[in-house]
Amino acid sequence: MSKIRLTNLGIVLTERCNLNCIHCMRGCSLAHDMDIKTMQNIFKQVDFVNNLTICGGEPMIDEELFTSLIDTIISSQFLLGSLSFITNGTCYNDAIASQLLRLDEYINHLFKDNYRSCNVALSFDEYHIEQIKEHPLSEQYFHNMAKLLSSPYYCGLVDINEIYDSGNAKKLDIPKMAIEAYSQYYYEKKGKLDHGPLLSILSDGTISECDGEFTYLREHFNYGNINTDALENIIKKRAVKCYTKVGFNYHVNTSQKNFHKI
């Protein structure tokens, strides 16, 4: 079995959201949360992620769920290059901040002399503003935004690059992008399998690769499940084999649980 190293991994922690933006490609909020077994299976099967993104729904909607994820990352001694959360900002609070601090300490333990922090990116575009301005959570949102902006975790605003023809956005009368699969590739050498550009794992463990409405992804971009399938087999079945190396920024020494920049 090869050690799997992913360039980018998106984890959908929950499909719940407390907003209902008109451009949301995810569609309506679904009461689906990732369970601990699924989190553990991800971190068991994947040896390293260069860029880990935690998204939703709203990934900070449930403190207990959020804490379970941080606990699982830390207890599994999972190796990663960087970690980002994409949030609508309404649920950020002191309890979430204290979990981010734990994660930060863990990341810094991995990188030792090379300080870095986990990142929180705030969704902020004309549609989110429209959604929040008359919303009962608007006061909370601006209060949280001020807190986030002065925290060490805030890394920027996420504006819209394109609107996908998916979920709530189907009703918008504007130019939209179709949901398409990425071209996946992998490189294998000496028991290590590097994959790019992106994999996503939905809250129930479905292995997918693109953005869009969760029910649609499960029907049309469903490559298996991290709880029942070997990720290595799925990658080899779906992705093109490359004969040149996929470019990671970090060399991982898994025996010492330490990273060395190359």
Q: Summarize as ranges the residues that interact with ligand SF4 (CB under 6 A).
A: 17, 19-21, 24, 26, 56-58, 88, 123
Whichever of 20 and 77 has its CB closer to ligand SF4, that residue is: 20
Can you name the residues that pair with 251 across neighbouring β-strands? Answer: 260
The CA distance from 227 to 197, in Å, is 22
CB of 59 to ligand SF4, least distance (A): 9
Task: Tell me how far, at minimum, the Cβ of 262 lies from ligand SF4, in Å.
Answer: 36
H or E stretch covering 69: helix 63-75
By C-beta, is 163 or 235 nearer to ligand SF4?
A: 163
Which residue's entry shows tokens 């996946």? Answer: 184
- How far is the C-alpha of 222 from the C-alpha of 209, rounded, in Å? 8
- What is the SS3 assignment for 15? coil
Q: Which is nearer to ligand SF4, 102 or 135 (CB)?
A: 135
Phi/psi for 5 (5° steps) reads -125, 120
Give min distance, CB of 28 to ligand SF4, in A. Answer: 9
- Kindly tell me which of 5 and 26 has the beta carbon lying closer to ligand SF4: 26
Query: What is the spatial distance between Cα 24 and Cα 229, in angstroms, rounded to a whole number?
Result: 30
Task: Count how many residues are written for the chain.
Answer: 262
Rounded to a whole number of angstroms, the minimum distance from the CB of residue 11 to ligand SF4 is 14
